[in-house]
Amino acid sequence: MLGNFSYHNPTKLYFGEDSLNYLKDELKKYGENVLLVYGGGSIKKNGLYDEITAILKECGKNVAEVPGVMPNPTSDKLNEGVEIARKNKSDFILAVGGGSVCDYSKAVSVSVHCNDDPWEKYFIRFEEPDCKILPVGCVLTMAGTGSEMNGGSVITNHKCKLKIGHVFGEEVMPRFSILNPRYTMTLPKYQMCAGIFDIMSHICEQYFSGEDDNTSDYISEGLMRGLIHSSRIAVKDPKNYEARSNIMWTATWALNTLVSKGKTEDWMVHMLGQAVGAYTDATHGMTLAAVSLPYYRHIMQYGLKKFARFAVEVWGVSPTGKTDEQIANEGLAAMESWMKEIELVMTISELGASDDMIEGIADATTILKGGYKVLSRDEVIKILKESM
């Protein structure tokens, strides 16, 4: 049931090969001190850095840079960015990169004018911002996280071995995001596939929860079917622009709150995956892939009707003459087949997890209550062992 909720997603999206043309129109709306945030060297290799710095210069902006935002951005890096923003009196943050860079920029945006330690305030105490928030804009170079149109920010603290996400409100959502599928096409295939699974997982985290009947589930099924279709094309032909553009657009809509309306939401695959990530620093989407099937096979019986529906509506499993359990199992088998087809990592050992890490990963796994079964610590251990 949809129940009571609000929906507000003020981010303006520019999509397509011409989308960067709109950056200057957007930049005009903000002050002259821009904090340019990016990751490793890829945007310097593919020319995007030069294009963007030229546009910033043309707009008369004073640019301070925060390069080197790593794939799982850390609290130390966050503090570094906050200091640079303060020193340069940044008016606006331009994030150029994937979900990590966008997430990171949102964390900086709520921390610059905040007196408390941001890791403690936002990622341990989960407080909301009570200070001035800097506006953020994104030029997205990788499809998957949905960070370009949501209030989410995930930060890793290596000392505590924690990787924590905070979903901020609409005032922290990017003011605009530029989505050019061509930018996603320079990334390695490994990242493309990890991003594809992140998208699927986002949808599943919302879909496999709560009580049906709900429009959100029908939209989710549509998104998943489109994603499976486009991913099959993309894994064979990563340069297929149509497939990559559909994947990019699906990523945005998978996690901008739309398909969560009326859902209690699960998020345990992400809790497990993030905990694995805190220990191994592995690629986010791959950590999710490695834990998903053991998790879903474990909880399937508690949400049997939904897993049977998933099998029929998303994977085309024929229900005729079968029990719900048979149908549901076939659905997960079809998903497993697809996951291998798109070359995902299927075990956490392959990502660097070792047996002696399991207890620690279990400790780092937050237990959430929105899914079909609230896990005990023993169940977490069992699932992690099955994920090895």
Stretch binding a copy of itself (CB under 8 A), from 51-59, 69-77, 241-249, 355-363: 241-249
Chain length of the chain: 388
Contact between 126 and a copy of itself by CB under 8 A: the answer reads: no
Contact between 147 and a copy of itself by CB under 8 A: the answer reads: no
Q: Among 164, 194, 219, 308, indicate the residue that binds a copy of itself (CB under 8 A).
A: 219
Of 141, 177, 180, the C-alpha closest to 17 is 180
DSSP state of 74: B
- Shortest spacing between CB 247 and a copy of itself, in angstroms: 9
- Shortest spacing between CB 214 and a copy of itself, in angstroms: 7
Q: Among 13, 110, 276, 364, indicate the residue that binds a copy of itself (CB under 8 A).
A: 13
Alpha-carbon distances, residue 373 vs 53, 98, 306 (angstroms): 49, 32, 13
Q: Three-state DSSP class for 137?
A: strand
Quick one: 133 or 173, whose CB is closer to a copy of itself? 173
Q: Among 72, 145, 156, 230, indicate the residue that binds a copy of itself (CB under 8 A).
A: 230
DSSP state of 302: G
Contact between 221 and a copy of itself by CB under 8 A: the answer reads: yes
Residue 163 bridge partners (DSSP): 156
Quick one: 44 or 229, whose CB is closer to a copy of itself? 229
Supply the angle between the helices 215-236 and 189-207 in degrees, to the nearest 10: 170
CA–chain centroid gap for 185, Å, is 18
Rounded-to-integer distance, Cα 231 and Cα 253, Å: 16
Quick one: 154 or 228, whose CB is closer to a copy of itself? 228
Contact between 9 and a copy of itself by CB under 8 A: the answer reads: yes
- Shortest spacing between CB 183 and a copy of itself, in angstroms: 14
- Torsion of the alpha carbons at 54, 58, 62 and 64, rounded to the nearest 10: -20
Contact between 45 and a copy of itself by CB under 8 A: the answer reads: no
Sign of the torsion angle spanned by Cα atoms 97, 102, 108, 113: positive
Rounded-to-integer distance, Cα 42 and Cα 187, Å: 8
Quick one: 11 or 156, whose CB is closer to a copy of itself? 11
Total residues contacting a copy of itself (rule CB under 8 A)? 44
Quick one: 1 or 131, whose CB is closer to a copy of itself? 1
Stretch binding a copy of itself (CB under 8 A), from 32-40, 64-72, 77-85, 209-217: 209-217
Q: In this structure, are residues 102 and 46 in contact, taking their beta carbons and an 8 Å threshold? A: no
Contact between 242 and a copy of itself by CB under 8 A: the answer reads: yes
Contact between 232 and a copy of itself by CB under 8 A: the answer reads: no
- Shortest spacing between CB 204 and a copy of itself, in angstroms: 15
Contact between 256 and a copy of itself by CB under 8 A: the answer reads: no
> Interface mask (CB under 8 A) for a copy of itself, residues 159-198, using x and -?
----------------------------------------
- Shortest spacing between CB 374 and a copy of itself, in angstroms: 25
Q: In this structure, are residues 177 and 145 in contact, taking their beta carbons and an 8 Å threshold? A: no
Rounded-to-integer distance, Cα 329 and Cα 217, Å: 20
Contact between 156 and a copy of itself by CB under 8 A: the answer reads: no
Q: Three-state DSSP class for 382?
A: helix
For the chain, what is the radius of gyration of the CA atoms? 20
Sign of the torsion angle spanned by Cα atoms 107, 112, 116, 117: positive
Contacts to a copy of itself by CB under 8 A: 1-19, 22, 213-215, 217-223, 225-226, 229-230, 241-243, 245-246, 249-250, 253, 258, 261
